[in-house]
Structure 1
Amino acid sequence: MFLATRDLAYAKGRFALIGGVIALITLLVVMLTGLAAGLGKESVSAIDTLPSHGVDQIGFSAPAKGQKVGYDSSHVEAKDIDKIKSVKGVTDASPLTITQGRASVSGVPSAVAVFAVPDGSFAAPKGVKNGSVVVGKTITKDAALKEGESISFNNKSVRVAKLSDDASYQHQPVVWMTESDAKAAGLLGQGSGTVALVKTGSGFSKDALTSATGLDVQDPKTSLSTISAYQAENGSLTLMRVMLMLVSALVVGAFFTVWTIQRTPDLAVLKAMGAHTGYLVRDAMGQAAILLLIGGGLGTIVATVLGYFAQGTVPFVLSLTTTLVPLALLFVLGLLGALVSVRRIVTVDPNTALGAAR
């Protein structure tokens, strides 16, 4: 990369400019990725963590005409739970009722999503029993709340056994509680969606469960697609990230194409002196790689620092998946964009050097 390094040293301004553009694009992509992951977590974390509670499958009732299968439209009945338990391979089953409510924390009202299960349900987080609940930690954004304190629903007061990092649903903190407490607080009624949480063992067949109960059976990960708010948010933010990555590839490709055109006489001279086309191509791609690593790395570092301080203010997830993965994708797409300029290197005619010397 003899020529590449000397070009970088000679045209500092040009390369600093394009490097700055790459850094800004990387900053935007990484920040959007972390934000998308944070928003997604606030929408579905309570569902996403159900497998850790022993839930392998989720059963939804058939939707009404014009509606889609989903947590809000499903109404699984007690007789369906009994049918599920009788299916081969099913070791346990429990209803989960999801509804909206308002909790009072030290007199401060807060909108919450209520996840009600029977007392002793296998799917309930540890600490959920009559008079005791588990609450999503995001409720503390509205009011100060600590473990061991109480929250109230209407005239029903319950003790907070635990504040959970993974208990959010549609951007609201989740309150896991027993059905008895939920009924006493007047939270269960019309508009509540009920699904069946299923724990399975050897010999389980999803088709057999569907045939026996008529339910739409999905695993927890697949069921996330039934949450409309999550799909809309995730789709929009993913589209923005894809567009930014394509812009990055276009910017890098355009820059190196123009740069190659400007130094065509130099390339022709090198070819006339015996430089192989492969050497010049590797040199150009190496130059692009250096620029992408420096610009992308700088953007990622800045985004990581900003994300670290933003975590407590906005929903933001800082991890290798939200930082290094976008950087790697931008690096690959940038190299693909730089490949556009390779064609001109390949087609440079050494005789051009003679014409340029006249």
Structure 2
Amino acid sequence: MAIFFRLPTSGYQPLFQESHITDIKVAIVFAKRFNESVAALSEEERAQVPHSISCIYYQDTDFFIDLEHPTITKEEQRLSPPEKDESFPWRKSPQRLIFLAVQIFYSLAVGRLPASEIKFLPSKLLCNLSESNMILIKEFLTYGLAQDVGNRYQTFAEFSDVMDIIIKRLATQNTRRIPTTKVKARYSYVSKLTLFNFKSSLATTINICAPCEILIGRILDIEEKKIVKKTDVATIYENYFNEGQKSEYYIVIDNDNCISRKHVQVHMAKELENSSIQDLGSTHGTMIFTDSSCSPVDGMSIQGSKRLFMIPYDQYFQIGNTRINISTKRS
């Protein structure tokens, strides 16, 4: 493995191609090879490597840097402001080049360049991972693409050790989180829905059978709906359907004035990774989060729009003063 600053006469390919998704195991191997190759360069050679995936080509196990590449995309320019520093000490630093290696992994696995601020990971990157490996990949990208240089991986050896762990873990896991059943049944899986009201500090939980639709609001049409559960937090109804059809749940939260009459609709799909949350044009919007911390800094508003679950098996979102969690155990 080596890095060359000239293109071969033939047989080379661009490392990154827009919308072309590489298997996650292959993507991490490419990132590891690039890390090892750039670590073997002299400091003067490291400083020559442009901070652009678009400039990188490969042939077999070798990488080629096109120093005459016409442009660096605007998104690549926005990725990390410190990388614009042209000073020699910074350009030869491991932190800059490790940051580039992590971008390689992300771009190959997702089929697009990383956003300038990554708060949510694409479901396509996570849906085929086991729970523990999903957490591992999330931590890997959180450190690897941190905007604060001090929070990134600091040495090539540290970064290589982390990738060795990921490669071993990916090699031993099952490829799908929730297998599709071939047996005809009404439901694909059962999830737990938990509502927590901040003002009253009360919570209520119910099991929901998917695929289904969940409508949540302050005032809903509940005529001829069956009451499943009634608590101080909410009243939960289920619509009647014949066997073999998906259910509809209606969750009425009438003690939270920050919730709209018809606030949000959740679609629990037959395949969990296709499940989505849709804000129905509410007054105060809907915030979605990637984990149980539900930090406002990491929240994303989807007011009037629709989003796939960020973490399919454990999704958190908030409407008004009520936090909602939908969790599904892997089979």
State the TM-score bracket (shorter-chain normalisation): under 0.3
Which structure has the greater CA radius of gyration? 1
Select the structure that is richer in strand.
Answer: 2
Q: Which has the higher helix share?
A: 1
